[in-house]
């Protein structure tokens, strides 16, 4: 952990960080609605390839209390936007950034990565914005609060019940990010935060902060987000935590030691401030026992990719590679052949396949960690020395280069460091295992990881292995010949899937679709009468008041319809002819409908109508056949057949307007419309519910 405060200008610390007074470009922060440039306490960032100073960073003098207040006063406007308005703004931001991506690629050069590596950060980050925007537009209604479940009855006569709702926390989310993904690291966190209606303060790692800052600059210029909903602190956060309160959230990505120190801030304990941490993770890859040639090659490909992509500086990178003892020599040989072909050097050269680490500090750090790993394992390729390898197109002494380094640990059960220490560079350790029980125990020695890959023969059953290792991971990637071409790979966190892991990995959870959005919202159980739950959730709840009109609801436009508007249909008696005709029409001759003798021995004791007939007959009762504003029926949710309908029973339908969601008009040629959800209840002559479901229709607007 770096102690940044109290450093004198031009002083170098033990890890090579220089606190400089050089006349360099200073990176301003964006806070309190303006760009702020500090005057002192600078830290210099050096070009990862050439070692030249590039810019300096400081937030000295920034009033952190004002930053927090600005977010809460101005930025909180985003909470008044609906989910769809937030999602649309995010999509516009993503489009705006995509059009300017080359600027970010240019800046990425100073961080030592190849264009392919930078793609993960830049376009992977922008893609996460697009994906989140679309998840929210698809899965949430156009409201400011999220109703989580349907009516939970709490009384005998249905006048008292509950629903859980989620509302935007009335605070700010502070995101402290690591150096390895300056753009994706910010965007993957601000997307769910802003969608939840919560303003953010982002503090990027000093290394790479120029890229984060460029993105924030464009987001601010774009004007798509409310002022104050995104602030940026380039430099230290000083006393910012002292101003956080009970509605605030902090996320952290970086080293476990920093994370643990920050998490111990007394304010977090005092106000139960949610602190999500993602830290050093000693992730695994496993080759299963009956691996064939193809499986071995897949395994080697994956380990190789994770060692070299982003110069091994990915939080998900494979640090421990477990192989059956009998295959150790084969895997080692194949991996070395591939790793020897890696061309390390200036990533601007076309033949270079692996660039530099992010900084000289990282180079020292990786070397120190490899020295520790070397106490348990033999180095079979690469080095813990820093200069004895070839670097293309630049001076290896000045840049933050490190060779691909493979270790082999023959006695992993006795190892002290292999399962604990993460060398955050192109470094991985191969180790043998005897059987699946020992393997699961070895994996668990990592004390919790973000991800593991299991590479198996397509038909091998690995259910027990998964059951044993799943509790130690946030994600498991199972690779085999069937999915090899399409797999997104071990190292890619995806917006739809959970990213995080237990124990050493920090205990946090990011991404995972709506799960991440909910992290920034407060869940509240609302108890009350059906009427109040309908009012609060903007969705009709059974037992609430309803309205009847002489005009059929299918004759009304989206805007005319009111939530709670109901149609009680005519009745229909179900006859044997109905059942026989439906059986013939559909081809469904199931004995419970068509076989008198079989049906007598059945659960129902006599023939009953097809459930699908009841749904069809219900439509026949509630539909208004003439052309009108209803464009189409596009789905049905939550269908339950509650009671059987027997020959001679009489059914009737209650159709109630439950929820309305306007749809954005993508095509000007298209008529404006919205989705109307109708609550359908089919009852029999004893007023018993026989079927219940929701239907979804597209209805024209005025």
**Which residue numbers are catalytic?**
278, 315
Total residues contacting ligand NAP (rule CB under 6 A)? 24
Choosing from 55, 132, 179, 558, the residue that interacts with ligand NAP (CB under 6 A) is 179
Helix (H, G, I), strand (E, B) or coil at 330: helix
Residue reference for tokens 């059929």: 552
CA distances from 275 to 259, 263, 510 (A): 9, 7, 12
Give the whole-angstrom CA distance, residue 61 versus residue 458: 59
Binding of ligand NAP by 193 (CB under 6 A): no
Asked if 372 touches ligand NAP (CB under 6 A), the answer is: no
Nearest to 446 by CA among 320, 605, 302: 320
Q: Which two tokens stand for residue 268?
A: 């977090």
Stretch that binds ligand NAP, among 47-55, 110-118, 201-209, 405-413 (CB under 6 A): 201-209
Stretch that binds ligand NAP, among 22-30, 90-98, 203-211, 528-536 (CB under 6 A): 203-211
Asked if 112 and 399 touch (Cβ cutoff 8 Å), the reply is yes
Residue closest to ligand NAP when measured from CB atoms:
254
Nearer CB in complex with ligand NAP: 40/154: 40
Q: Is 120 in the site for ligand NAP (CB under 6 A)?
A: no
CB atoms within 10 A of CB 6: 8
The one segment of 248-256, 326-334, 456-464, 620-628 that binds ligand NAP by CB under 6 A: 248-256
Judged by CB under 6 A, which stretch of 111-119, 199-207, 519-527, 647-655 contacts ligand NAP? 199-207
If one asks whether residue 29 binds ligand NAP (CB under 6 A), the answer comes out as no
Tell which one of 249, 253, 284, 449 touches ligand NAP (CB under 6 A): 253
Reduced DSSP (H G I as helix, E B as strand, rest coil) percent helix, strand, coil of the chain, to 5:
35, 25, 40
Count of residues in the chain: 702
Least distance to ligand NAP, CB of residue 255, Å: 3
Taking the complex as a whole, the smallest distance from the CB of residue 9 to ligand NAP amounts, in Å, to 17
Print the binding letters for residues 385-424 with ligand NAP: x by CB under 6 A, - otherwise.
-------------------------------------x-x
Among 89, 205, 360, 691, binds ligand NAP (CB under 6 A): 205
Query: Which among 420, 429, 423 is positioned nearest to 448, based on CA atoms?
Result: 420
Integer Cα distance of 38 and 324 in angstroms: 56
Nearer to ligand NAP, 179 or 546 (CB): 179
| Interface with ligand NAP in residues 38-77 (CB under 6 A) | none
For Cα atoms 600, 605, 607, give the angle at the middle one, nearest 5 degrees.
75
What residues form DSSP beta bridges with 650? Answer: 573
Residue 255 as a binder of ligand NAP (CB under 6 A): the answer is: yes
**What ranges make up the beta strands (E) of 416-556?**
427-433, 449-455, 473-479, 498-501, 508-511, 521-528, 547-548
Residue 7 or 539: which CB sits closer to ligand NAP?
A: 7
Instruction: Map residues 269-298 to x or -, x wherever contact with ligand NAP holds by CB under 6 A.
Output: ---------xxxx-----------------
Task: Specify the 3-state DSSP secondary structure of 689.
Answer: strand
Q: Is residue 254 close enough to count as binding ligand NAP by CB under 6 A? A: yes
Could you tell me if 358 and 372 are in contact, meaning their C-beta atoms sit under 8 angstroms apart? no
Residue number, 239 or 378, with CB nearest to ligand NAP: 239
Taking alpha carbons only, the member of 502, 522, 516 closest to residue 187 is: 516
- Cα 496 from Cα 355, distance rounded (Å): 30
What is the contact surface with ligand NAP in residues (CB under 6 A)?
Answer: 1-2, 176-180, 203, 205-206, 237, 253-255, 258, 262, 278-281, 315, 365, 422, 424
């Amino acid at each position: 952990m770096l102690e940044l405060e109290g450093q004198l200008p031009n002083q170098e610390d033990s890890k090579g960080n220089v606190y400089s007074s050089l006349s360099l470009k200073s990176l301003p922060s964006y806070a309190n609605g303006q760009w702020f440039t500090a005057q002192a306490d600078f830290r210099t960032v050096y070009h990862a390839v050439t070692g030249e100073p590039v810019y300096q960073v400081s937030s000295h003098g920034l009033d952190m209390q004002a930053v927090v207040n600005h977010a809460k006063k101005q930025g909180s406007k985003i909470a008044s936007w609906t989910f769809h308005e937030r999602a649309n703004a995010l999509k516009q931001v993503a489009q705006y950034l995509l059009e300017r991506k080359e600027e970010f690629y240019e800046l990425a050069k100073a961080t030592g990565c190849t264009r392919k590596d930078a793609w993960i950060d830049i376009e992977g980050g922008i893609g996460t914005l697009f994906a989140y925007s679309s998840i929210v537009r698809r899965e949430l209604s156009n409201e400011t609060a999220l109703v989580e479940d349907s009516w939970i009855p709490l009384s005998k006569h249905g006048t008292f019940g509950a629903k859980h709702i989620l509302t935007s926390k009335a605070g700010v989310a502070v995101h402290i990010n690591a150096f390895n993904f300056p753009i994706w690291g910010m965007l993957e966190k601000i997307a769910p935060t802003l969608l939840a209606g919560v303003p953010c303060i982002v503090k990027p790692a000093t290394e790479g902060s120029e890229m984060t800052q460029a993105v924030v600059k464009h987001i601010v210029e774009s004007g798509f987000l409310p002022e104050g909903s995104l602030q940026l602190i380039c430099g230290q956060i000083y006393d910012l935590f002292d101003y956080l309160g009970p509605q605030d959230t902090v996320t952290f990505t970086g080293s476990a030691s920093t994370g643990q120190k920050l998490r111990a801030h007394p304010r977090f304990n005092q106000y139960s401030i949610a602190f999500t941490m993602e830290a050093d993770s000693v992730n695994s890859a496993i080759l299963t026992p009956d691996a064939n040639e193809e499986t071995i090659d897949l395994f080697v490909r994956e380990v190789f990719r994770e060692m070299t992509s982003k110069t091994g500086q990915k939080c998900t990178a494979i640090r421990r590679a477990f192989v059956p003892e009998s295959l150790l020599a084969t895997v080692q040989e194949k991996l070395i052949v591939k790793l020897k072909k890696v061309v390390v050097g200036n990533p601007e050269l076309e033949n270079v396949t692996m660039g530099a680490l992010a900084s000289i500090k990282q180079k020292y750090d990786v070397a120190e960690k490899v020295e520790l790993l070397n106490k348990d394992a033999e180095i079979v390729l690469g080095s813990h020395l820093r200069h004895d390898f070839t670097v293309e197109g630049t001076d290896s002494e000045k840049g933050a280069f490190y060779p691909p380094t493979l270790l082999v640990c023959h006695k992993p059960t006795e190892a002290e460091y292999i399962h604990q220490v993460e060398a955050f560079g192109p470094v991985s350790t191969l180790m043998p295992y005897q059987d699946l029980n020992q393997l699961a125990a070895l994996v668990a020695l990592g004390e919790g990881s973000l991800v593991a890959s299991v590479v198996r023969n397509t038909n091998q059953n690995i259910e027990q292995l998964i059951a044993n290792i799943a509790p130690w991971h946030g994600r498991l990637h199972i690779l085999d010949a069937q999915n090899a071409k399409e797999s997104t790979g071990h190292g890619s966190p995806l917006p739809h899937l959970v990213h995080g892991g237990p124990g050493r990995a920090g205990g946090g959870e990011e991404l995972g679709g709506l799960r991440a959005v909910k992290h920034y919202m407060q869940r509240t159980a609302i108890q009350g009468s059906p009427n109040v739950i309908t009012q609060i959730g903007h969705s009709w709840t059974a037992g609430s008041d309803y309205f009847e009109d002489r005009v059929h609801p299918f004759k009304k436009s989206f805007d005319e319809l009111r939530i709670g508007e109901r149609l009680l249909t005519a009745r229909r008696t179900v006859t044997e002819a109905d059942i026989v005709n439906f059986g013939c029409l559909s081809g469904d001759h199931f004995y419970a409908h068509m076989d008198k003798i079989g049906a007598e021995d059945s659960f129902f004791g006599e023939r009953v109508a097809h459930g699908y007939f009841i749904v069809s007959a219900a439509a026949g009762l509630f539909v208004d056949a003439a052309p009108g504003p209803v464009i189409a029926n596009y789905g049905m949710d939550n269908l339950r057949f509650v009671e059987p309908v027997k020959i001679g029973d009489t059914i009737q339908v209650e159709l109630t307007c439950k929820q309305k969601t306007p749809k954005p008009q993508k095509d000007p040629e298209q008529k404006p419309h919205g989705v109307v959800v109708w609550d359908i209840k089919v009852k029999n002559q004893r007023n018993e519910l026989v079927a219940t479901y929701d239907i979804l229709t597209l209805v024209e607007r005025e």
